[in-house]
Amino acid sequence: MNTNPLIEGRKADSARRRQRVIKAINVARRAGTAISVSGIARQAGVDRAFLYRHKDLLAQVHAAGAEPCGDDVGPVVSRASLQADLGSFVWIIGWTRGRCPRCGVRPGRWWLSSRNGWRCLATASGG
């Protein structure tokens, strides 16, 4: 056992910070708010570097952030599903910058059919 009071004080401070981080994660889970490293660090009153130095706490923050948010009302949405949707929309926007290959109509006249993919409203048979 170290008898150096500076080392013991630093260990005690680190333990108090760890407890504040764990409490902040639990509060954010119960509240259903979005969980991020910055948000948890801010709520716990610690630096982000503290979380990055303590890999177990960082893993808890990332695991809690990947869980679905909020109450049981409506569809369950996780950060991963939102990122997947965003990636799809970015691809769709990039793909629709051109014109319809059949009639040359700009993308504003197109619509998305869940069964047949993109269709052009300007042509009767679709795109």
Average pLDDT over residues 19-42: 91
The pLDDT value given to residue 127:
41
For residues 95 and 125, give the distance between their C-alpha atoms in angstroms, rounded to a whole number.
21
Task: Give tens-digit pLDDT for 66-100.
Answer: 876 655 555 666 777 777 777 777 656 655 555 55
- The answer to whether 14 and 25 have CB atoms below 8 angstroms apart is no
To the nearest whole percent, how much of the chain has pLDDT over 90?
Answer: 39
For residues 85 and 39, give the distance between their C-alpha atoms in angstroms, rounded to a whole number.
23
Tell me which of 54-58, 98-102, 110-114 is least confident: 110-114
| pLDDT above 50 (res 3) | yes
The pLDDT value given to residue 57:
93
The pLDDT value given to residue 20:
96
The pLDDT value given to residue 24:
95
For residues 79 and 91, give the distance between their C-alpha atoms in angstroms, rounded to a whole number.
18
* CA-closest candidate to residue 37, choices 13, 127, 46, 23: 46
- Helix or strand or coil: residue 38? helix
The residue that leads in pLDDT, 19 or 80, is 19
The reported pTM is 0.55
| Residue 98 Ramachandran class (φ > 0 left, ψ -120 to 50 alpha, else beta) | beta
* CA-closest candidate to residue 21, choices 41, 49, 1, 48: 41
**Counts for the chain of helices (H) and strands (E), in that order:** 5, 2
